[in-house]
Structure 1
Amino acid sequence: MPDSTRVTRRDALRYAGALAGLGAAALGLGTPTAAAAAPTLIDFAAKQIPAEHIRAAGHAGVVNYVSTSRPGSSFGAKPITLPYAQSLTAAGLAIVSNYQYGKPGGTAPSDFLRGYAGGIADARTAWQLHTAAGGGQSAPVFFTIDEDIDRDTWNRVALQWFRGINSVLGVQRTGVYGGIDVCQWALADGVIGRSSTPGRAWAWQTKAWSGNRVHPAAVLYQRIVSTASNPGPLVGGLEVDVNDALASDVGQWNLHR
């Protein structure tokens, strides 16, 4: 398997044909050129965006948090709640679970720095919040590495965190969010599970730290990362990140009951 590849127009057309796996929400909602693009899921933290606004913007679903807010912050979308999840599901929108509590430079440090014991604790928290909101019993949770780390840091610290997560959830229910190298290392070290889409794994890759490359096993690609200097599109009045679905099975709850 090559280390990386580019998403071609032909790939995008194939992904668009996989909308049934992501729910019917995105069908017929886009522009006349929507069929040429991959289905998209948005991620956000500040507040719960109403399902009707997500549908109106043409997105197929959300990646939402199964983690709480850091000290001193209050993010309205952390964690996802059962009523909100039910509203998304009723609208035909897909839901994928993501865990991130700490952040570089935040009031809590990056989660992976907590090592093996931290991985155990984080996995238990993630799964409790995931199931409380109605998450699928076999659905993965994507655990976040939100910074550019080197291989030594991965081997010494982050990998141990993922081993702790695996000890609670098992490999098959564990996913990773990060740049292309983190996705590759997680896959090579066997700490993330496999999608039912052939050749794909629970790797949610961000464009950050990826050099315009997309890992061929990734199921989600964060193509738009909203920042103060480069804000993402507005959905329901909130700037969001936009993720391309690169597989029919990206870990959405409705496929993993």
Structure 2
Amino acid sequence: MGAAAAGAGSPPAAAAASRLIDYAAHQIPAHHIRAAGYAGVVNYVSLSRPGTSFGAKPITRPYAESLARAGLVIVSNYQYGKPGGSAPSDFTRGFAGGVADARTAWQLHTAAGGGRSAPVFFSIDEDISRDTWSSVALQWFRGINSVLGVQRTGIYAGIDACHWAAVDGVIGNSRTPGRVWAWQTKAWSGNRIHPNAVLYQRVVATASNPGPLVGGYEVDVNDVLAQDCGQWNLHP
């Protein structure tokens, strides 16, 4: 998944065995990520919610450049609100909210040096029903699509919402055949992995189930399921 292979136009065959980490609290130095054996990061292109101050939200250009220099890849994710947080879940904000969130995400993504054709994964960080998807979340994604287009839109969610997003045509396609911009979390997925996802969040750090430490900070861990999982260096 390294920059050299991407520059040559041929993603390495080992990509499917790679792992990425995601985290919000701190900008973990690149050398710690490399030393821990990870291929890169999923990092936020969103701001911290009111009353919070996450060091890794949003990703900055100097930090992104330090990761790239170390041969690490970057995938963009947007999440501002959270269930029970100081801002409501983003997907509840409707079409207009999707438009606003997409504009913010793209401004932060490009300011940090993100690829112009790279996707942004937008988060549904809770378990939702099919009715909630169809009546609420889908409208948010349509708003996102109106700004970014379907091909630059991805989803982070449990397996069902990933499936609905793919079926309803609001997320784009990976260059890896048969894969779509679905970053699936193990939460709300019942030990199932969607056959078309590009990333699978295998370790979700919680108080009762801590994640591994990288550079002294707790992280989530994601399996890379496709050579093209939306990393910036494949989507200049």
Q: Normalising by structure 1, what TM-score?
A: 0.87
Q: 1:228 to 1:196 in 2, by over 3 A?
A: same
Cα offset, 1:20, TM superposition: 5.3
Structure 1 counterpart of 2:127, from 140, 144, 148:
148
Q: What is the 5 A alignment of 1:71-150? A: 71-150=50-129
In structure 2, what is the Cα distance between the partners aligned to 1:117 and 1:79? 22
Do structure 1's residue 235 and structure 2's residue 219 form an aligned pair?
no
Counterpart of 1:244 in structure 2 is 223
In structure 1, what is the Cα distance between the partners aligned to 2:4 and 2:203? 20
In structure 2, what is the Cα distance between the partners aligned to 1:21 and 1:144? 26
Do structure 1's residue 59 and structure 2's residue 74 form an aligned pair?
no
Do structure 1's residue 221 and structure 2's residue 200 form an aligned pair?
yes
**Any idea what SS the aligned residue of 1:95 has?**
strand
In structure 1, what is the Cα distance between the partners aligned to 2:3 and 2:154? 19
Q: Is the 8 A contact 2:183 2:201 kept in 1?
A: yes
Structure 1 counterpart of 2:177, from 198, 201, 204:
198
Long gaps (5+) in structure 2: 7-13
In structure 1, what is the Cα distance between the partners aligned to 2:46 and 2:182? 19
Counterpart of 1:160 in structure 2 is 139
**Any idea what SS the aligned residue of 2:177 has?**
coil
Count of aligned residue pairs for this structure pair:
229
CA RMSD of aligned residues (A): 1.6
Long gaps (5+) in structure 1: 1-18, 25-34
Deviations 1:71-101 (A, max 9, x none): 0000000000000000000000000000000
Counterpart of 1:211 in structure 2 is 190
Deviations 1:190-220 (A, max 9, x none): 0000000000000000000000000000000
Deviations 1:22-61 (A, max 9, x none): 969xxxxxxxxxx8x8200000000000000000000000
Q: Is the 8 A contact 1:46 1:75 kept in 2?
A: yes
Counterpart of 1:6 in structure 2 is none
In structure 2, what is the Cα distance between the partners aligned to 1:44 and 1:206? 14
